[in-house]
Amino acid sequence: MIIGVADTTFARANMGAFAIDELKRHTSARIVRVTVPGVKDLPVAAKKLIEEEKCDIVMALGMPGGKDQDKVCAHEASQGIMMAQLMTNRHIIEVFVHEDEAKNDAELAWLLEQRTREHAVNVVLMLTRPQEMTKLSGTGQRQGFADAGPARK
Amino acid sequence: MIIGVADTTFARANMGAFAIDELKRHTSARIVRVTVPGVKDLPVAAKKLIEEEKCDIVMALGMPGGKDQDKVCAHEASQGIMMAQLMTNRHIIEVFVHEDEAKNDAELAWLLEQRTREHAVNVVLMLTRPQEMTKLSGTGQRQGFADAGPARK
Amino acid sequence: MIIGVADTTFARANMGAFAIDELKRHTSARIVRVTVPGVKDLPVAAKKLIEEEKCDIVMALGMPGGKDQDKVCAHEASQGIMMAQLMTNRHIIEVFVHEDEAKNDAELAWLLEQRTREHAVNVVLMLTRPQEMTKLSGTGQRQGFADAGPARK
Amino acid sequence: MIIGVADTTFARANMGAFAIDELKRHTSARIVRVTVPGVKDLPVAAKKLIEEEKCDIVMALGMPGGKDQDKVCAHEASQGIMMAQLMTNRHIIEVFVHEDEAKNDAELAWLLEQRTREHAVNVVLMLTRPQEMTKLSGTGQRQGFADAGPARK
Amino acid sequence: MIIGVADTTFARANMGAFAIDELKRHTSARIVRVTVPGVKDLPVAAKKLIEEEKCDIVMALGMPGGKDQDKVCAHEASQGIMMAQLMTNRHIIEVFVHEDEAKNDAELAWLLEQRTREHAVNVVLMLTRPQEMTKLSGTGQRQGFADAGPARK
């Protein structure tokens, strides 16, 4: 079992290092890492991890900026990640933190780490115990900020 | 005949359970279920249900959030579901309830269940009695809230 | 020669019936019809008509709603129809009437029928006498409401 | 060498005729023409010109309307033209004049002709003398209205 | 090792020349250049550089205009570049400078050159020393204007 981790030099925290640290707490799977300039370079990087490095699943980690043009770039990156999954029949878990989700640099640093770690746990569950995911169906899980919980209490 | 059901841990009600309960009232087809984190993970999950689990049709169940960024995610998920259908020549019935369609949590819970159940009936018709769908052509059917009915009474 | 007709239960008039009636006035080609829930189910339905039913051309008939979310759905459906054409090298003529194009239900019913019929004529021309289409190049043709005509009178 | 020309009955001037007239002034390549209803029918028409008529390059000529919905259609058409190029490894030169780019019908007619003719010259250069294109790199060329010129004079 | 460079006649500075000059300072790889009219012609040009000219990586250099319609064109070009990468499993580094990012022509000329040169350095690193990219992970790198730096100082 091989897990791919792709991150960027654009992001403002070492998301790949957080992911690898968290993955190692939950699995002994081999991890392959690659770093690209920005979020739009992640889709092909993830696809290469799957097809050339034989990864079973990939984490695509990025921090889109807060400007309008950055939102468009994030959308293009997400569309690419979607297509890469469909072309390979492998999950690529997108972990994006938009810079303007955080009130300040301290919260941004916290969120970049927290969301990455929570998604890393998902990745391990999906790969090794998918039935655990189904137990969580419809429970309003969120990654980073607090969970929303179910609508009917 | 095999029906796939894919839902999410992000949604605020167990949409997969509603779908399976309703499907079983109308068909004895085998059902395969998978749960993923969010709506953007549904397209490849649905494609894998078709190609790896041999499903003839899939229900993709999700609850996009109400914020602007959530709308973009829903759009990306829908584009992925579209492409997955075209790559497999199989219908994937998208059942999305946007969190802001409902006035409050109680209505949200109701809508998540109601829309899922009505689409489950469509899935069975499409799979087993497609001519019944044609009888309903142009009658303004809606899933969840009330039907619109035909324009010319 | 086989013509496919795909329509929806969501629309508020029987667009498939209008199309078939008009097609039969102009051609003796065989017609295959299928009805799906909504516009987002049309692309794979059209692709299946081409690949499984051997249709030479398909009419994809739908009535997107007037709300913002409906506009997004229509866009996704159109992108799917585009891709289905490119994957099959066959024309799929999209006949969409947006619910808010009409002032009231009576005009909506009229427009759903009129636009469908005018596009059906195009379909027959494209399939049987493409040189007739070239004679109409740049003449500002519209389907449903009045033609715009050429810019240079 | 074969050049494809695809235009529409929706446009308000005979763009295909302008293209063919201009192409013939610069090349003796064979030209194949097809006319479709609107811009969303152009991508598959262009792809068929490449794959079925063996065209080396195609001009896709259209005039999107000025309303919001027309802008969406133009976007979908452009995405389709993009994908058709990637699926065939052939250039499809998109020549779109948005109806609201012109102040009045007279300017619209002029612009439809002028932009088409200038792009026809590009097509011949790309096909026969690509090194001439490189000489024009970064010179702020525009088709139709005046060139912008380089930023550094 | 072969590096492709694709640029446009629309841009207002010779981006291809800047790229080639910078690449040559850092690598002896062979460089193949092509120039097309505008950003929407770049994706297939880049794909042809990869598939027909055997380039290992490509720089796609363009300057989208500042109007709303230009933003749509840039988005379509970016989507095409994304898809071209996924179809070839090769990186295509998009270097776009939006005309309205700069306050005046002098800054525009500077930015077109500066961003191109900084991305050329990335291209060489990605191709020859990818582990150097990982050392820069999460450090808030930017191309052209000043780096953002890490969120946690």
Closest by CA position to C20, among listed C7, C5, C35 = C5
Cβ contact, residue pair E83, D86, below 8 Å = yes
pLDDT over 80 (residue E62): yes
Q: Does the distance separating the beta carbons of D149 and E11 come in below 8 Å?
A: no
Tell me the mean pLDDT in the region A9-26: 98
Distance from CA of B105 to the nearest CA of A (A): 5
pLDDT at residue B58, as a whole number: 98
What distance in Å separates the CA atoms of residue E19 and residue E32, rounded to the nearest whole number? 11
Q: Which residues of C touch B71 (CB under 8 A)?
A: 72
Q: Give the C-alpha separation, D82 to A120, whole Å.
A: 35
Q: Are strands B57-62 and C2-8 parallel, antiparallel or unpaired?
A: unpaired
* CA–CA separation, E75 and A73 (whole Å): 8
Q: A131-143 as b/e, with b when 16 or more CB fall inside 10 Å?
A: eebbebbbbbbbb
Burial class (CB in 10 A: 0-12, 13-18, 19+), E2: middle
- Residue E38 identity: G
DSSP label at residue B33: E
Residues in chain D: 153
For C43-62, write each residue's pLDDT tens digit.
999 999 999 999 999 999 99
Strand B2-8 and strand A92-96: the pairing is: unpaired
End-to-end CA distance of chain A: 38
Q: Give per-residue pLDDT as tens, B24-43.
A: 999 999 999 999 999 999 99
Using a CB–CB cutoff of 8 Å, tell me whether B4 touches chain A: no
**CB distance B53 to B4 below 8 Å:** yes
d(CA B131, CA B117): 20
**Averaged pLDDT, C88-105:** 97
Contact state of B130 with C35 under an 8 Å Cβ cutoff: yes
Placement of tokens 């019936």 in the chain: C17
Give the closest-approach CA distance of E53 to chain A in angstroms.
20
Chains A and E form CB pairs within 8 A to the count of 110
pLDDT digit string (tens) for chain D, length 153 residues: 999 999 999 999 999 999 999 999 999 999 999 999 999 999 999 999 999 999 999 999 999 999 999 999 999 999 999 999 999 999 999 999 999 999 999 999 999 999 999 999 999 999 999 999 999 999 999 999 999 999 987
The pLDDT tens digits for C98-122 are: 999 999 999 999 999 999 999 999 9
| Residue C26 contacts B where some CB pair is shorter than 8 Å | no
Residue A37 forms contact with E (CB below 8 Å) = yes
Report the 10 Å Cβ neighbour count for E103. 9
**Are the beta carbons of D3 and D30 closer than 8 angstroms?**
yes
At residue E138, the pLDDT reads 96
Prediction pTM value = 0.97
User: Is C126's CB within 8 Å of D36's CB?
Assistant: yes
Burial A85-106 (b: 16+ CB within 10 A, else e): bbbbebbbbbbbbbbebbeebe
Report the pLDDT averaged over residues B79-105. Answer: 97
Distance CA C64, CA C11 (A): 8
pLDDT confidence of residue C48: 98
Q: Is the pLDDT of residue C153 over 90?
A: no
Check CB contact of C82 with chain B, cutoff 8 Å: no
Nearest to A44 among E86, E137, E148 (CB): E86
D5 contact C CB<8A: no
The stretch A15-43 carries a mean pLDDT of 98
Contact D80 C98 (CB under 8 A): no
Q: How many CB atoms lie within 10 A of CB B92?
A: 28
Query: How far from each other are the two terminal CA atoms of chain B, in whole angstroms?
Result: 38
- Three-class secondary structure of residue A19 per DSSP: helix
Q: Does D16 touch chain C (CB under 8 A)?
A: yes
In DSSP terms, A59 is beta-bridged to A5, A93
Contact A16 E134 (CB under 8 A): yes
Residues of B in contact with C34 (CB under 8 A): 130, 133-134
pLDDT of residue D153: 75
Residue type, A23: L
Question: What does the pLDDT look like over A133-146, one tens digit per residue?
Answer: 999 999 999 999 99
* Cβ partners under 8 Å of residue D43, min gap 6: C82, C85, C86, D60, D77, D80, D81, D83, D84, D92
Which residues in chain B belong to E strands, given as ranges?
Answer: 2-8, 30-36, 57-62, 92-96
What distance in Å separates the CA atoms of residue C148 and residue D71, rounded to the nearest whole number?
Answer: 17
Of C11, C72, C83, the CB nearest to B86: C83
First-to-last alpha carbon distance for chain E, in angstroms, is 38
Chains A and B touch (3+ CB pairs under 8 A): yes
Judge: D80–C83 Cβ closer than 8 Å, yes or no: yes
Q: Do A76 and E82 touch (CB under 8 A)?
A: yes
Instruction: Tell whether C93 is within 8 A of chain D (Cβ).
Output: yes
Contact between B87 and B34 (Cβ < 8 Å): no
Across the interface, of B86, B119, B137, the residue whose CB is closest to C7 is B137
- In D, minimum Cα distance to C132 occurs at D35
CATH topology of domain C2-135: Rossmann fold (3.40.50)
Q: Cβ–Cβ of A112/E151 closer than 8 Å?
A: yes
- Please check whether residue A86 touches E, CB under 8 A: no
Task: Note whether B98 contacts C69, CB cutoff 8 Å.
Answer: yes
Which of left, alpha, beta for C100 (phi over 0: left; psi -120 to 50: alpha)? alpha
**Structure confidence at residue A153 as a pLDDT band (50, 70, 90):** confident
Residues A94, B77 contacting (CB under 8 angstroms): no
Tell the residue number behind the tokens 């690193």, with chain if given. Answer: E125
**C-beta of residue E104 within 8 angstroms of C-beta of residue E112:** no
What average pLDDT score do residues E45-68 get? 97
D to A contact (≥3 Cβ pairs closer than 8 Å)? no
The answer to whether D105 and D99 are in contact (CB under 8 A) is no
Q: In DSSP terms, which residues pair with E66 in a beta bridge?
A: none
């709506």: which residue's tokens?
Answer: B39
Question: Minimal CA–CA distance to D86: which of A70, A83, B90?
Answer: A83
pLDDT of residue E98: 97
Interface contact flag, A89 B8, Cβ < 8 Å: no
pLDDT surpassing 90 at residue B93: yes
- Which residues of E are less than 8 Å from A17 in CB distance? 137-138
* Residue E8 contacts A where some CB pair is shorter than 8 Å: no
Say what the pLDDT of residue C73 is.
Answer: 97
Segment holding C150, helix H or strand E? none
Does the pLDDT at position E153 exceed 80?
no
Say if E89 is an interface residue toward chain D (CB within 8 Å). no
Cβ neighbours of residue D63 closer than 8 Å, sequence gap 6 or more: D8, D10, D11, D12, D13, D15, D39, D96, D97, D98, D99, D112
| Mean of all residue pLDDT scores within chain A | 97
Distance from CA of B149 to the nearest CA of C (A): 6
Are C76 and B82 in contact (CB < 8 Å)? yes
**D11 → chain C, closest CA residue:** C138
CA distance C152 to chain D (A): 6
The reply to whether residue A17 touches residue E137, judged by beta carbons under 8 angstroms, is yes
B and E interact (at least 3 Cβ pairs within 8 A): no
pLDDT cut 70: percent of chain E above it: 100
Contact A83, A42 (CB under 8 A): no
In terms of Cα–Cα distance, which of E5, E49, E52 is closest to E24? E5
Q: Looking at residue A65, what is its pLDDT? A: 95
Among all residues of chain A, which has the CA nearest to that of E72?
A72
E-D interface (Cβ pairs under 8 Å ≥ 3): yes
A96 band by pLDDT with thresholds 50, 70 and 90: very high
The residue length of chain C stands at 153
Confidence at C83, pLDDT banded by 50, 70, 90: very high
Residues of D in contact with E108 (CB under 8 A): 151
User: Which residue is closest to A63 within chain E, CA to CA?
Assistant: E138
Q: Is E40 on the interface with D (CB under 8 A)?
A: yes
Q: With CB atoms and an 8 Å threshold, state whether E79 touches A84.
A: no
